[in-house]
Structure 1
Amino acid sequence: MKNLQNIRILFVAALAMMYTTTSSAQTTDSTNYDQKFKLGFGVSGGIPTDGDDYDWALGGDVRLQYDLSKKTSITLTTGFTNLFVGDDVPDLGFIPAKAGFKAFVWEDQFYVMGEVGAGFAVTNGYNETSILWAPSIGYATKHLDISLRYEDYDKFDTNQIALRFAYGFEL
């Protein structure tokens, strides 16, 4: 009788070990994601949407992205944007510094992103610093990133809708 009880205990222990090993291996494989940094270089052209002060915008940027998961990332973006003005008025050039959150919403290629930061005016006697925020939608592959964003400035008397083309790679 004692042998039968020991065999039952061993059998239950073996089943429990098999279940634990199998289930932990499955959860480890399905949730393991290699977090990584990416770097992207972009160029964007924009059309001001508010006021008559500026005619168009052109900018270049550098974006550092850290993937939190396969579908979410945090970003840091800086660069230079120039808001062009018509006759006899100096253009406004500024350096944006933005932090953002990107979430892939469809097929790991289409995303929505929100950024917030500051724009530091650096040209033609402008010395304002503007708070800026920029929601965007985009499409990204392994190296290509195309996005459309609305960018709002509180001190520059305009806003813009911009189209961005970028090339990126893993670090």
Structure 2
Amino acid sequence: MTNLHAQTMTTMDGTMMDNGMGFKVGVGISGGLFRDKSPMDYAYGADLKLQWDLTKDVAITASGGYTKLMGKNNSLDVDFIPAKGGVKVFAIKRMYLATEAGAGFAIQDGAKTNFIYTGGVGYEWNSGFDIGVRYEGYVNNSSSTTYFRQTGQYALRLAYNFKL
């Protein structure tokens, strides 16, 4: 017969060590700029991000919110609700690499859903503040009334995470 015993890690001062497991809800705002060749000029939005810390180094994310892409010379403005899922890897302490993919559900009549993909880096403080930069790419359906060629923004996100 084999007996199994759970091990508890403690620090040098005898306190319990945090294993990183947890659930967070983050509220954020973002703004971004597009390259010169893009039909878009800038973007802004807000989001709600759910984060499940599987370990102290890896988290699964899901996010949704509102994004507005502003066309150059008032040519085309696109409003959509992004829904994405992804992974965060904390490479160095609280600094992370993040990637997400999902869909942008257009709000305008006749507009089609976009495919969205992102990749970026950020830093999450223990206090809950989170800052990140990312590239967010959009692949649009050519039959959409809000069609624009494949493009992407370089965005900054400021957020606060609430631990649950």
How does the TM-score come out when normalised to structure 1?
A: 0.77
Q: Provide the C-alpha distance between the structure 2 equivalents of 1:32 and 1:64, rounded to a whole number of angstroms.
A: 20
SS at match of 1:29: coil
Which residue matches 1:168?
161
Which residue matches 2:125?
141
- For the pair 1:96 / 2:114, whether they are aligned, the reply is no
More helix by proportion, 1 or 2? 1
Per-residue Cα deviation, 1:67-126 (whole angstroms, up to 9, x for no partner): 10011100001101100124443410111100010010112x110011011111113x45
Q: Aligned residues, how many?
A: 146
Shift in Å, 1:133: 0.7
Alpha carbons 2:20, 2:57 under 8 Å: kept: no
Q: Provide the C-alpha distance between the structure 2 equivalents of 1:151 and 1:55, rounded to a whole number of angstroms.
A: 14
- For the pair 1:44 / 2:30, whether they are aligned, the reply is yes
Which residue matches 2:107?
122
Shift in Å, 1:147: 0.3
Per-residue Cα deviation, 1:10-65 (whole angstroms, up to 9, x for no partner): xxxxxxxxxx89xx56xx11398362210000000000126342111001000000
Alpha carbons 2:24, 2:162 under 8 Å: kept: yes
Identity of aligned residues (%): 40
Change (3 A) 1:126 1:137: farther
Q: Provide the C-alpha distance between the structure 2 equivalents of 1:34 and 1:112, rounded to a whole number of angstroms.
A: 16
Alpha carbons 1:92, 1:126 under 8 Å: kept: no
Change (3 A) 1:164 1:88: closer
